[in-house]
Structure 1
Amino acid sequence: MPNSPTLKDLLASTKHSAVHLEMRDGYMESDPSFLAWKEGKRHLPEDNDPEQRPWLRWVREATDRGVAIRRARVFSVPESDYIRFEHHVSDANVRAGEQIGWLSRRRATDIAFPGNDFWVFDNELVVILHFTGDGESPDDWMELSTEPAVRDLCVSAFEAVWERAVPHAEYRPG
């Protein structure tokens, strides 16, 4: 989508809050970091380095401004390799200031979800994230919406998950 803001831009302009709901069991499994993790390479410098993982820098900049960043993950059990990898690299996200919660899909049956992962910035702008069937991100992967019904569904789903989610520090994949 030409001239669309990036996640970096959106986070930089956020004033109060950013919430993110992830509902897939795998993303971008072609990611070199994931492939290295699958080969047993743990605690690589790039896992924790804000220069190599710019997201960590953006989170720190936002949280230093007082922005609350919360991410919730809904996942299947037993966990996929990708979910175990996400748990491993999420330690750095938490150190950067992001709050992360984990909710097994079995505990989410009665929650109404939108059809896609999303971000909600300052309870106003929804960024809907589209992925291919194998979890890769197509060129047009981000869709922006200020539609009240979409926003309300996303906020409601996120808060319902967050209320039940296990904090990152307490969750250990099986």
Structure 2
Amino acid sequence: MVSITDDEFERLLSGFERSAVHLETRDAYGTAVELPHLAAWVAGEHDDLRWLDGWCAMVRAHVTAGRSVRRARIVSEPLSDYQRWSYSIAEPMVEAGEEIRWVPRRLVSSIPLPGNDFYLLDDQLVIFLHYAGNGLAVDRVTTTDSDDIQLCRTAFEAVWQLAIDHRDYRPV
């Protein structure tokens, strides 16, 4: 497995040819970009969500070109503050064409899952996302190992089948 830079990560996410799937398994994250917006939400402040414009534009371009972008979130219920906030800001991403689904953690107990969140691009490349205990990203590593690809593909599709579309999911 090879660590990649932020720039390489962005290049890979913007350059896939057919599909990108993303499995999220944590109840909280602490990305530097998100933390100020999460804090404002907790304080009851309005967020115009413009900071999501770049992501939404990229998703829109992928979808317009016929590529799919899917995200499945495994969540504990009741939701953590982070996941409630995440739910509250998802609509622009969904409107851009990203398919987002939510699945209660209790439903995935029998699904073999990778030890880390991941992106699977074109069924050819896995990007494992490594986080510290506080949710901050500490590394991203890539692999083209066929066993890793199969594990991630199978796990994602099994979760996807149980997950609830964003527009139908009601946070608990």
Q: TM-score, normalised by structure 2?
A: 0.92
Amino acid at match of 1:132: A
8 Å CA contact 1:29–1:35 kept in 2: the answer is: no
2:36 to 32, 39, 43: 32
Counterparts of 1:120 and 1:2, CA distance in 2? 15
Amino acid at match of 2:94: V
Amino acid at match of 2:42: K
| Deviation, structure 1 residue 146 | 0.2
Counterparts of 1:148 and 1:72, CA distance in 2? 22
Gaps of 5+ in 2: none
Match of residue 19 from structure 2: 17
* Identity level (%): 38
| Deviation, structure 1 residue 60 | 1.2
Aligned-partner SS, 1:130: strand
Amino acid at match of 2:43: E
| Deviation, structure 1 residue 7 | 3.4
Gaps of 5+ in 1: none
8 Å CA contact 2:31–2:137 kept in 1: the answer is: no
In the alignment, does 2:92 pair up with 1:92?
yes
Counterparts of 2:30 and 2:5, CA distance in 1? 24
Counterparts of 2:102 and 2:143, CA distance in 1? 26
Counterparts of 1:107 and 1:132, CA distance in 2? 25
2:160 to 143, 155, 162: 162
Match of residue 103 from structure 2: 103
| Deviation, structure 1 residue 13 | 1.4
| Deviation, structure 1 residue 127 | 0.3
Counterparts of 2:7 and 2:152, CA distance in 1? 20
Q: TM-score, normalised by structure 1?
A: 0.90
Residues 16 and 2 (structure 1), Cα distance of their counterparts in 2 relative to 1, 3 Å cut? closer
Larger mean CA deviation between 29-38 and 122-131 belongs to 29-38
State the Cα deviation string for residues 45-84 of structure 1 (Å, max 9, x = none). 1x1x3xx322112111111111100000001111100000
Residues 3 and 100 (structure 1), Cα distance of their counterparts in 2 relative to 1, 3 Å cut? closer
| Deviation, structure 1 residue 2 | 6.0
Amino acid at match of 1:35: A
Count of equivalent residues = 167
8 Å CA contact 1:120–1:155 kept in 2: the answer is: yes
